[in-house]
Amino acid sequence: MTGEDVPIGEDELQAFVDERLDGPRRDAVEAHLARHPELRERIAAERRQRASLRAQLQGKAAEPIPARLRIATLQAARRARLARRMSLIAAAVAIFVVGGSAGWFANGLRPALVAQAPTTAVAQGAAAAYRTFVVEVAHPVEVGVAQETHLLQWLSKRLGHKLVAPDLAPFGYRLMGGRLLPGGSGAAAQLMYEDTAGKRLTLYVRAADGTETAFRFQQDGDAATFAWIDQGFGFAVTAMASREELLPIAEAVYKGLTPKG
């Protein structure tokens, strides 16, 4: 099988969007797109969106790096987290060895230690939170929209990041409220919106390593998620919607999360 015969997957298309392909595989993707006009238009739109995001954030690259995001600070925090994790693992292994179950524990431990892409972890956390609370009737949110100012101040304080509620009225969604959630090694926030038909959409925010400002799409059953990372925080928009329906909403959320003034 030649390089051109190898099927083109979604991961390779995303690598093409991010300009991480070269050589024969880039030529193969370009040939594949030339044969599929609809796919070519989608990839072209994603590349334009990526370029737009990079252009909007280019000015931030010249700003001084906050102390909490400096490499030395992040490395120290990671070392501390790793030390705590290894201590917990050592203690757990000792307990299971006494019980004669160390082998089974080691097998169960491996998946938890597999590294994930930051946007993947954010998207999975958002999808899990969405599925947990979107079905709630009596208590879909912890703090309702009637206390929106209090809600956003509270979540901002817990996240260490100023949170605003984007206006999604042009898409038919109104804010219902939100809640505080565990997220990674810290806190996460979920804002929930609803349209007149009762269809719900959530915005999920948590601290995340990385600088991946391009949108990443994830389909989890009938729930779709767009996730991205900006200034040390991961964001995700999740709804029962198609990729095409959700993308413009995710773009509007991205723009709406930039505080005015």
pLDDT in tens, 125-172: 999 999 999 998 888 999 999 999 999 999 999 999 899 999 999 999
pLDDT value for 70: 67
pTM: 0.56
Inform me whether the pLDDT recorded for 224 exceeds 50: yes
SS3 content of the chain, % helix, strand, coil (to 5): 55, 20, 25
Length of the chain equals 261
**Range in 22-26, 95-99, 242-246 the model is least confident about:** 95-99
Mean of the pLDDT values across residues 186-213?
90
Inform me whether the pLDDT recorded for 99 exceeds 80: no
- At CA 57, angle to CA 20 and CA 61, rounded to 5? 90
Is residue 208 within 8 A of residue 122, CB to CB? The reply is yes
pLDDT value for 1: 47
pLDDT value for 110: 43
Inform me whether the pLDDT recorded for 29 exceeds 60: yes
pLDDT confidence bin for 111, thresholds 50/70/90: very low
pLDDT confidence bin for 220, thresholds 50/70/90: confident
Residue at token pair 């767009």: 226
Residue 61 gets which letter from DSSP?
G
Strand order in the sheet with 233-239: 143-144, 174-183, 186-194, 200-207, 233-239, 223-230, 216-220
pLDDT value for 258: 57
Inform me whether the pLDDT recorded for 58 exceeds 50: yes
Mean of the pLDDT values across residues 36-63?
82
pLDDT over 70 for what percent of the chain? 80
Mean of the pLDDT values across residues 33-44?
90
User: Considering the chain, what is the average pLDDT of its residues?
Assistant: 82
pLDDT value for 195: 95
The amino acid at 59:
G
